[in-house]
Amino acid sequence: MIMGFDVGGTNARGLLVDPATGATVDDDRTSSDGTGPVLLEKLVTMTRDLVDRNGVELTGVGLAIAGLASSRGTVHYSPNLPEIVEFAIGPELEKRVGVPVAVVNDASSGAWAEAKYGAGRGCADMAFVALGTGIGTGFVVDGRLLEGANGFAGEAGHMVIALDGPVHHTGQRGPWEYFASGTALGRLGREAAAAGLFEAGITLAGAPDQITGFHVAEALRAGDAHAAVVFDAFCRFVAIGITNLVLVLDPSRVIIGGGLTDIGEPLRSGVDDWLQQVLLGADHRPQVEVVLAELGSEAGALGAALVVLEDPRHNR
């Protein structure tokens, strides 16, 4: 059996996974606060508990972390988990559990889970785009997870798409994430409301400045015409970033994941329609498929477990 963890800013989710099928055998959850050594202790304890109570043998552990996770097992930058930055969580955990440990960015692990057991099955070249508070991305190239020289590949949410655009909380001007995350969907809704063009949003949220992406999605579902205009603008922004990924990587499929997939088909078709319009040379190439993720919020932990089976470079 293999363990997969998804360590977020609040919780660490752990899955005990059958490597032959990708099926979850057991699972648990703990808080992720505290220093590196404290988190390490929690991960060791949860691993031992799950292994013991299922009476199985452990062969590897994968750790998905939101941030710049080096393939050598150290997190170099993580606004959500500041206390574990520069702590060698991968090598330390490996010492304690005695099996190989892989540390990987959470969007890359989500991409790998979708590739193996989700919407990416059978597709050798694909891009996974998780739309949530920010934008996380992960890529599969020629059947393998794209990790890059340091394990930092897949930070495409920070790509600049408006070089003189607004300053994002990262300090950059005009990154993709500023325009096309769930946070951005809320801002577009607030802007429309302030312009008198989103009454339904004000009704749902209580006040114009309380509108979030959730309210835009809610109004869209109810058939509100103003919400549809806001959402169309949002889908264009998502598509522009995806065109950049298509031009660089030439995937045959793009998988949209993250919290915004709750919107469902309107999100998929909205992005798909804009992608065909804004992708240069779209008439001269096979149409890029746009599909929704299938695995939901456990993809990160599952993918981390599956990565440890594949990649001999981790922690080396």
* DSSP for residue 288: P
Q: To the nearest whole angstrom, how small is the minimum distance from the Cβ of residue 57 to a copy of itself?
A: 31
Choose between 51 and 160: whose C-beta lies nearer to a copy of itself. Answer: 160
In angstroms, the CA 267 to CA 233 distance is 12
User: Which residues contact a copy of itself by CB under 8 A?
Assistant: 68, 76-77, 124-125, 137, 139, 141-142, 144, 146-156, 158-165, 170-172, 174-175, 179, 237, 240, 243-245, 247-252, 278, 280-281, 284-286
Choose between 17 and 87: whose C-beta lies nearer to a copy of itself. Answer: 87
Q: To the nearest whole angstrom, how small is the minimum distance from the Cβ of residue 155 to a copy of itself?
A: 4
Measured at the CA of 193, the angle between CA 187 and CA 197, to 5 degrees, comes to: 125
- For residue 160, the cross-strand partners are 175
In angstroms, the CA 161 to CA 154 distance is 16
Q: To the nearest whole angstrom, how small is the minimum distance from the Cβ of residue 135 to a copy of itself?
A: 11
Choose between 208 and 251: whose C-beta lies nearer to a copy of itself. Answer: 251
Measured at the CA of 259, the angle between CA 232 and CA 301, to 5 degrees, comes to: 145
Q: To the nearest whole angstrom, how small is the minimum distance from the Cβ of residue 114 to a copy of itself?
A: 16
Choose between 38 and 160: whose C-beta lies nearer to a copy of itself. Answer: 160
Structural element, H or E, at residue 271 = helix 265-278
Q: Classify 43 as helix, strand or coil.
A: helix
Amino acid, single-letter form, for residue 82: P
Residue owning tokens 């998780």? 130
Measured at the CA of 226, the angle between CA 136 and CA 204, to 5 degrees, comes to: 80
In angstroms, the CA 151 to CA 314 distance is 9
- Among candidates 147, 112, 136, which has minimal Cα distance to 126? 112
Q: To the nearest whole angstrom, how small is the minimum distance from the Cβ of residue 75 to a copy of itself?
A: 9
Choose between 57 and 142: whose C-beta lies nearer to a copy of itself. Answer: 142
Choose between 5 and 274: whose C-beta lies nearer to a copy of itself. Answer: 274
